[in-house]
């Protein structure tokens, strides 16, 4: 990852969007891992990929988000400007309208079950959008919506790393059950990263969904991970009922969550070491849920 600061952003704006050159630039609190995000004045934000692996997401959001907006029940990012490499920064970058709201959390959400139902309704609407021109899973979205086999090697490596901390046989069983099925229906649009940091809350309710960098078309299982990472059992039950997907899709969803939890707990390259303990708790919830289904 390269160094990105407010001075760089200020220079990029001045060079490429001179009408906004007088606006203040300051970092956004909790600005994200894949991108560095900055306020531009009071009504806009600037997002810059932090590494080359995130660059393909920029053009994708500019292409598809304007068409998505009218078809979805909640606000999503609105692209306002597409920046070019410059001022020592090597990649394209974006200016968006600012969406007010707090990062979702148990403290910010007034009713977790209502929140889960609102999110399910958003995902149902997203799945209804015509997928014919959408990109299939690939490096642009880290294979979200694709086959879990892509991550089989690193998942099994993480299981070996954590062998003295987990039930290896049981975790392997959960993983292999997730690998055992595929999405047999028409590909649908997926967000690809339905996580607390990409769900905004106002007045206790889900208010917006942001960061479509991992979006694409394929299997919706990857969008269900939040059932284990945020929801309690009543909210997870409501979410499952509302999204109306089959048992095998939920098993693949459990696999997506397990993969991310294992590689983070094992300290795989590119994962955030500050959230290892949180991801260990995800593993415990996945195991408990699996045992309740079998």
Instruction: Give yes or no: residues 224 and 260 share one domain.
Output: yes
pLDDT of residue 184: 96
- pLDDT, tens digit, 9 for 90 and up, residues 155-182: 999 999 999 999 999 999 999 999 999 9
Q: Is the pLDDT of residue 206 over 80?
A: yes
pLDDT band at 294 (very low <50, low <70, confident <90, very high): low
CA neighbor of 175 nearest in space, from 164, 159, 192, 194:
159
**Is residue 110 classed as helix, strand or coil in its secondary structure?**
coil
Instruction: Give yes or no: residues 92 and 208 share one domain.
Output: no
Residue 197 sits at the vertex; the CA angle it makes with 196 and 203, to the nearest 5 degrees, is: 75
Counting Cα atoms < 13 Å in the Cβ hemisphere of 256 gives 29
Chain CA centroid to CA 253, Å: 14
Contact (CB, 8 A) for 116 and 151 = no
Domain final position from 81, 99, 117: 99
Instruction: Give yes or no: residues 83 and 121 share one domain.
Output: no
Which CATH number does the domain housing residue 189 bear? 3.90.1200.10
pTM of the full structure: 0.95
Q: What percent of the chain has pLDDT over 70?
A: 98
In a domain, 1, yes or no: no
Instruction: Give yes or no: residues 148 and 271 share one domain.
Output: yes
């Amino acid at each position: 990852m390269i160094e990105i600061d407010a001075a760089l952003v200020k220079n990029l704006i001045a060079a490429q969007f001179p009408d906004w050159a007088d606006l203040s630039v300051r970092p956004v609190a909790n600005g994200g891992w894949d991108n560095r995000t900055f306020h531009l004045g009071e009504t806009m934000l600037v997002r810059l990929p932090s590494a080359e692996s995130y660059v393909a997401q920029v053009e994708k959001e500019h292409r598809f988000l304007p068409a998505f907006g009218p078809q979805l029940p909640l606000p999503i990012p609105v692209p306002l400007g597409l920046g070019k490499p410059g001022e020592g920064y090597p990649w394209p970058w974006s200016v968006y309208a600012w969406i007010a709201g707090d990062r979702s959390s148990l403290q910010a959400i007034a009713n977790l079950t209502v929140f889960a139902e609102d999110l399910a309704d958003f995902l149902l609407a997203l799945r209804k959008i015509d997928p014919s021109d959408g990109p299939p899973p690939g490096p642009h979205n880290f294979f979200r919506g694709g086959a879990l086999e892509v991550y089989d090697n690193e998942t099994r490596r993480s299981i070996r790393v954590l062998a003295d901390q987990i039930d290896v046989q049981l975790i392997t069983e959960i993983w292999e059950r997730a690998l055992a099925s595929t999405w047999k229906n028409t590909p649908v649009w997926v967000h690809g990263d339905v996580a607390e940091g990409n769900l905004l809350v106002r007045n206790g309710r889900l208010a917006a969904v942001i960061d479509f960098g991992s979006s694409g078309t394929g299997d919706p299982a990857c969008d269900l991970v939040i059932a284990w990472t945020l929801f309690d059992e009543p909210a997870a039950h409501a979410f499952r009922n509302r999204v109306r997907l089959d048992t095998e899709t939920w098993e693949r969803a459990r696999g997506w969550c397990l993969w991310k939890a294992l590689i983070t707990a094992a300290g795989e390259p590119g994962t955030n070491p500050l959230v290892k303990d949180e991801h260990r708790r995800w593993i415990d919830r996945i195991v408990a849920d699996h045992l309740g289904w079998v």
